């Protein structure tokens, strides 16, 4: 009996067998015939809509609370705004991960496309759904807060005074790298297999990554790291200031996502070494 218990205890901590999942096909027209594909698009649309609705309302509410107030710490403050963004990402990724993967961000989708985690068709349609969801979410904010919306900038991302475009671009690249790197690490199937005895709730570190990046970059760019978020606010606010340097909020996140995908897949996961090894093995035959 004692020996059986020892074997059971030893086996309970053994790692699961792991095999790298095959890369997603670049073009997969069959997806267009599946209800699960359209269900995922709806999930991305609604999640991004809710994300922009709550977060932009928080930004505008904070600005209205401190307007004309002698208390410089009035309202939720930058810390509260960062919590709103990070908390909503945690909630929405948790709710939609099993349906669409919980991207809610074109930069995340782009990084996963580079890593061959999603097909090109799915990636393009996700980005469209995310951008439409963001525009509708900010549209709801404007509908409910007409008196405050334009007065307090519509929650649009703009480069703060005193910072160069290079600084803003660098902040967006690094901030998105942190986010997408966290996404890859938190959802890595190899990590789940190796550390199977350690429960990891993937949305939690992703939400914290968003929270920490906002704390660092709100004073610089208002924190984009999500092209859909920046586009939705710019389209509904539609003032020159919102479109000035808007390219930063697309180029920066996409560049950061690409770097994170390359770092995780080819450096940490040794993708380049595996590919070279396979090439050399093929040469022998």
User: Closest by alpha carbon to 34, among 115, 122, 102?
Assistant: 122
Which pLDDT score is estimated for 73?
59
pLDDT higher than threshold 80 for residue 68: no
pLDDT higher than threshold 50 for residue 69: yes
Confidence of residue 25 (pLDDT cuts 50, 70, 90): confident
pLDDT higher than threshold 70 for residue 285: no
Which pLDDT score is estimated for 241?
87
Maximum Cα interatomic distance, the chain, rounded to a whole number of Å: 78
Q: How far is CA 99 from CA 34, 88, 250, in A?
A: 13, 17, 26
Residue 63 to residue 186: CA distance in whole angstroms: 34
Which of 10 and 166 is assigned the larger pLDDT?
Answer: 166
Q: How far is CA 159 from CA 51, 143, 167, in A?
A: 22, 26, 9
Asked if residue 107 lies in contact with residue 207, where contact means CB atoms within 8 angstroms, the answer is no
DSSP label of 266: I
Sketch the domain layout of the chain as residue ranges.
33-267
Which pLDDT score is estimated for 17?
57
DSSP-derived 3-state class of residue 22:
coil
User: What number is the average pLDDT over the span 263-285?
Assistant: 61
Which pLDDT score is estimated for 1?
45
pTM: 0.85
pLDDT higher than threshold 90 for residue 201: no
pLDDT higher than threshold 60 for residue 194: no
Confidence of residue 275 (pLDDT cuts 50, 70, 90): very low
How many residues comprise the chain?
285
Residue 56 to residue 150: CA distance in whole angstroms: 12
CATH no. for 33-267: 1.20.1080.10
Confidence of residue 221 (pLDDT cuts 50, 70, 90): very high
27: left (phi over 0), alpha (psi -120 to 50) or beta: beta
């Amino acid at each position: 009996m004692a020996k059986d218990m020892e074997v059971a205890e030893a086996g309970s901590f053994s790692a699961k067998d792991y095999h790298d999942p095959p890369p997603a096909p670049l073009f997969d027209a069959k997806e267009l015939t599946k209800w699960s594909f359209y269900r995922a698009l709806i999930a991305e649309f609604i999640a991004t809509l809710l994300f922009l609705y709550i977060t932009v309302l928080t930004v505008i509410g904070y600005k209205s609370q401190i307007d004309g107030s002698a208390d410089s710490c009035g309202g939720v403050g930058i810390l509260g705004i960062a919590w709103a963004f990070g908390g909503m990402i945690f909630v929405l990724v948790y709710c939609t991960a099993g349906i669409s993967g919980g991207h809610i961000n074109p930069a995340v989708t782009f990084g996963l496309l580079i890593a061959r985690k999603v097909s090109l068709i799915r990636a393009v349609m996700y980005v469209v759904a995310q951008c439409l969801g963001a525009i509708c979410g900010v549209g709801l904010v404007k509908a409910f807060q007409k008196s405050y919306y334009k007065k307090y900038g519509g929650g649009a991302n703009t480069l703060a005074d005193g910072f160069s475009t290079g600084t803003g671009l660098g902040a967006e690249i690094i901030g998105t790298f942190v986010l997408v790197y966290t996404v890859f690490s938190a959802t890595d199937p190899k990590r789940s297999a190796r550390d199977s005895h350690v429960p990891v709730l993937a949305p939690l570190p992703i939400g914290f990554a968003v929270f920490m990046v906002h704390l660092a970059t709100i004073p610089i760019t208002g924190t984009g790291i999500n092209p859909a978020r920046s586009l939705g606010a710019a389209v509904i606010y539609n003032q020159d200031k919102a479109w000035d340097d808007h390219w930063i909020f697309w180029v920066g996140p996409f560049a950061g996502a690409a770097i994170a995908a390359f770092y995780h897949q080819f450096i940490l996961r040794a993708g380049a070494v595996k590919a070279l090894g396979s090439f050399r093995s093929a040469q022998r035959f």
